[in-house]
């Protein structure tokens, strides 16, 4: 698997966390870890099979999938596949897709059913492999649905930065809302309940340090109760153990790049 990150244009920095060109070789697979982000996949050449995200399906047209509480996988068949993988910023789904993250949770959805402005462009025939077209589609969506945000991007960052270290009732008080309102908005913005979002944030904190510490130290530094809880959560959320992930990453260093924390400043993680 080859992964090339593209600098995000400034006008999209509020809404997109990552834009990557991905190439998957024949019979290779790309793991999809649990997380609170919504991802968009624009296949440019070939097709892939997506398993573990709702019903298994073959994908050749633009799709998105929502937040997940367990791992999935994108598999390539006998021919290579290439395309654009776009990770939305936390809480941005209502502005980019017009629906809540909760409505997309553990589901894969054709973008043709969400974006009326989506056109049948042959992305592979374009000089930039369709990147300008993909960004234009996203810009059109934001212009249509930005007013559907429940929290501002800054508020979403604050919630993600505090959710795994602050009791829910205390966080609700800091935000000036009730505990019930915090739970409803967390579901809608991130597709997970507060405790589920906290688990994901701790996972991505551990991924950012996985090459620099043993499991016991990782568990403590990432905020897990103990090492056994860390390993159990890691297995459920990634489909592998920390030790297995390290071994895989030796041969496939792109895994570390694909699932590292996007920004640890202020406690923000890339889940």
pLDDT digits (tens, 9 = 90+) for 198-253: 999 998 888 888 877 789 988 998 888 899 999 999 999 988 899 888 888 777 77
Residues shown for the chain: 271
- Please give the torsion angle defined by the CA atoms of residues 198, 199, 201 and 202, in that order, rounded to the nearest 10 degrees: 120
Euclidean distance between CA atoms 72 and 254, whole angstroms: 17
Tell me the longest C-alpha to C-alpha distance in the chain: 54
- pLDDT surpassing 60 at residue 84: yes
- pLDDT surpassing 70 at residue 259: no
Euclidean distance between CA atoms 271 and 257, whole angstroms: 13
Say which residue, 7 or 54, is predicted with more confidence: 7
- pLDDT surpassing 90 at residue 121: no
- pLDDT surpassing 50 at residue 267: no
- pLDDT tens across 136-186, in order? 999 999 989 988 988 988 899 999 999 999 999 999 999 999 999 999 999
- Which residues fall within 8 angstroms of residue 249, CB to CB, at 6 or more apart? 210, 211, 255, 256
Q: What's the pTM value of the predicted model, to 2 decimals?
A: 0.90
- pLDDT surpassing 90 at residue 12: yes
Mean pLDDT over the full length of the chain:
89
Euclidean distance between CA atoms 242 and 214, whole angstroms: 9
Euclidean distance between CA atoms 218 and 59, whole angstroms: 36
- Which residues fall within 8 angstroms of residue 206, CB to CB, at 6 or more apart? 218, 219, 221, 222, 224, 230, 234, 242
């Amino acid at each position: 698997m080859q992964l090339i990150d593209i600098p995000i244009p400034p006008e999209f920095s509020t809404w997109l966390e990552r834009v990557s060109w991905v190439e998957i070789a024949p019979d290779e697979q790309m793991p999809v870890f649990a997380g609170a982000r919504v991802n968009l996949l624009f296949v440019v050449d070939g097709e892939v099979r997506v398993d573990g995200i709702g019903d298994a399906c073959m994908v050749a047209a633009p799709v998105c999938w929502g937040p997940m509480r367990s791992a999935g996988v994108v598999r390539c068949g006998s021919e290579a596949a290439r395309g654009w993988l776009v990770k939305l910023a936390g809480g941005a789904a209502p502005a980019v897709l017009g629906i809540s993250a909760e409505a997309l949770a553990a589901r894969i959805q054709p973008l043709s059913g969400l974006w009326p402005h989506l056109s049948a462009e042959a992305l592979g025939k374009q000089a930039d492999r369709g990147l300008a077209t993909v960004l234009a589609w996203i810009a059109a969506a934001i212009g249509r649905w930005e007013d559907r945000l429940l929290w501002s991007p800054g508020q979403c960052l604050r919630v993600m930065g505090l959710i795994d270290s602050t009791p829910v009732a205390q966080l609700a008080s800091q935000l000036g809302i009730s505990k019930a309102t915090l739970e409803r908005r967390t579901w809608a913005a991130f597709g997970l309940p507060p405790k589920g979002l906290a688990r994901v944030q701790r996972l991505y904190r551990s991924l950012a340090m996985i090459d620099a510490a043993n499991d016991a130290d990782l568990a403590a530094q990432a905020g897990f109760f103990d090492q056994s809880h860390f390993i159990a959560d890691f297995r459920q959320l990634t489909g592998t153990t920390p030790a297995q992930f390290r071994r895989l990453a030796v041969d496939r260093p792109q895994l570390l790049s694909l699932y590292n924390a996007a920004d640890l400043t202020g406690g923000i993680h890339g889940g």
